[in-house]
Amino acid sequence: MSVQDIPAGQAVYAQDENGRPFIIVREQGRKVRTHGLEAIRSHILAARSVTNIIKSSLGPRGLDKILISPDGDITVTNDGATILGLMEVDHQIAKLLVESQDDEIGDGTTGVVVLAGALLSSALSLIDRGIHPIRIADGYEKACEIAVAELDRVADEITFSQEDTSNLVRTAKTSLGSKIVSIAHDKFANIAVDAVMSVADLDRRDVDFELIKVDGKVGGALEDTSLVKGVIVDKDFSHPQMPTVVRDAKIAILTCPFEPPRPKTKHKLDIESVEEYKKLREYEKEKFLEMIRMVKDTGANLVICQWGFDDEANHLLMQNELPAVRWVGGPEIELIAIATNGRIVPRFEDLSADKLGKAGLVRELSFGTTKEKMLVIEECANSRAVTVFVRGSNKMIIDEAKRALHDSICVVRNIIRDNRVVYGGGAAEICASLAVAKKADETASIEQYAMRAFATALDSIPLALAENSGLSPIDALSAVKAAQVKENNPRLGIDCMGYGDNDMSKQFVIDPLISKRSQLRLATQVVRMILKVDDVIDGSAFNNEMM
C-alpha cells in the first residue's frame, strides 16, 4: 500500500525489513495559504510574538530569559542580540525580525525589536482602517527622518581625552546597568574604557576590534576580572621541565609541524630489520635537530607552533633549551603575530631573524585548585593589543559577562567615533515622539496617520522601561511627557532606579547618538520590509501543487 492510499489524518502501523515497527501518518491535505492583506496581518502577528518575548528584558530592571539549546545547554541572559540569536523560530517573517540584528552598532538590539513591534502593532490598526501598507511604510520613513533630525538637534557633546576618560567610564556604566555584571560595573566599565583606549586611534576616530580579545576561565569572582596589556593563550609550555618564564622573548611563530618529511601517499616504507629501524630513528632525530638548529640560528628563544610534535621532538626541544608551545589555534596565532609584530612562517626554510615576534615577558599563569595553566604574553612590540581575562563562578556567568563587556566596548567605541550623545530612560524617544506628532499635525496627506502612529510607537520604549521598573506605565509616561513640553527639556526620562529625579543628565544615563539613530532607522527598515511582504511561497510546495 502506498502513502496516497492512506486516508488523510489516519495512521498506519508498519514494519521495516528488520521487523522494527514504525507509524505512517498522512497529513490533512494541503495547508491553506493566505494572500494580500490577510497575509500581512498574519506576518505582523508573528513578528509581534517575538517582540512580546523580548520586551520584558528592556532597561536596567529588565528580566532575564533561560534559553535551552537542542543539545540541552542552558543560557541565562537579558541581552537582546543573544536571545534573538538563540531563539528557535519557525515562522518566516519572525525569522526575518530575528536575523535583522544590528551587528554594526553592537548595542541596543532590544530597543530595535521593541520599537519594531510597536510600529507593527500601529500598522495593523491602520490597515484595518483601510490605509495601504505602502503608504504606511512611506509615512514611517518620513517620521523616522523627522525623529532623527530632532535627535541631532538636541544632542549634546561629551569631552574625553587619553588622560581624562571619566565621561567614557560613566557612559560604559550606563550600558552595564542592566547586565549581570552590574555588581562590579565600576570595574568592568574601567576595563572596557582601558581596552578601547589602548587600541583606539583618536586622530582617525577609529577602534580596531581585532586587537581586543576577551577570554575567560571558570573560577574566582567577577571582581577578579583583569585587563592584560598583551595576549593570553589557553595553552602551557609543551614540556613540564621547560622554564615557565621567558624574558626578552624572540618568538618563532610557526604553522609547520616539528616532524620529519613523510613519503608521498602513493609510496610506503617497509622496515624489515632492527638495523633499518635504528637508521630511521637516527634519521628522524637528525631532522628534529636540524629544525631546532634552524630556529636557534635566527636568535629565537621561544617557539609557538600551530601543530603538535611528538615526545621525541618535545624532549629534544627541552634538551636544547628551546621552550615551545604547541596546538595554538589559528585566531590566537594571528593575534600573537599582530601583538608581537612577528610574521607567521609556514616552512622552517623561510624562518629569519626579521620575522621573529618580540615580547618583554612570556610567563605561565596558574590558578585554581586544579592548577590550570595559561600562557601570558606581555610587553609586546605592538603594545596596542590587549586581552580581557574574565573570571566567574560558572560558565553561564562568564558568557554573560563577555556579552556585557562586548556591549560596553561597543558603546565606548561609538562615543570615540562620534562624541555626541542623547539621554536614556526613554528621554530621546519622548523628545522624538513630540517632534513627529507636531509635524504630523502640519501634514495634509494620508501619511499623517502613519506619522502619528510612529509617534505613538516611540512611546513604547519609555512605557516598557516604566513597566519593567515596577512603575505605573501610563502615569509615568504622561508625567514625563508633560514635563518635557512644559520645561522644554529633552533630558527628562523615566526614573527606572528610583533616584527621585527624572533628569537623565544628572543621573548620567546617556546613549551615543549614532547608536540611537541606528536603532530608529533599523526598526523602520525592518517594518517596511515586513509590510511589503504579502505572500510566502515555498518553492518545492508550489511545484507540487502545480503537478
Report the catalytic residues: 79, 109-110, 407
Q: Which residues contact 317 (CB under 8 A, 6 or more apart)?
A: 238, 239, 242, 258, 292, 303, 309, 323, 324
Query: Would you tell me the crossing angle of helices 473-487 and 427-441 to the nearest 10 degrees?
Result: 70
Residue whose C-alpha is closest to residue 304's, from 376, 360, 354, 371: 376
Q: What angle do CA 274, 276, 279 make, to 5 degrees?
A: 110
Strand, coil or helix: what is 489?
coil
User: What are the start-end ranges of the E strands in 44-170?
Assistant: 65-68, 74-77, 156-157
**Strand-pair category, 344-345 with 245-254:** parallel
Residue whose C-alpha is closest to residue 120's, from 142, 95, 101, 93: 93
- CA 181/CA 185 separation, integer angstroms: 6
For residue 180, give the DSSP letter. G
Q: Which whole-number Å values give the CA distances from 17 to 21, 37, 310, in the listed order?
A: 10, 50, 49
Q: Rg of the chain's alpha carbons, rounded to an integer?
A: 30
- CA 75/CA 77 separation, integer angstroms: 6
Distance of CA 219 to the CA centre of its chain: 23
**Strand-pair category, 212-218 with 386-392:** parallel
- CA 461/CA 476 separation, integer angstroms: 12
Q: What does 412-444 look like in DSSP terms, one character per residue?
A: HHHHHH--EEEETTTHHHHHHHHHHHHHHHT--
- CA 365/CA 374 separation, integer angstroms: 5
Asked if 76 and 64 count as a contact pair (C-beta separation under 8 A), the reply is yes
Residue whose C-alpha is closest to residue 125's, from 432, 358, 351, 454: 454
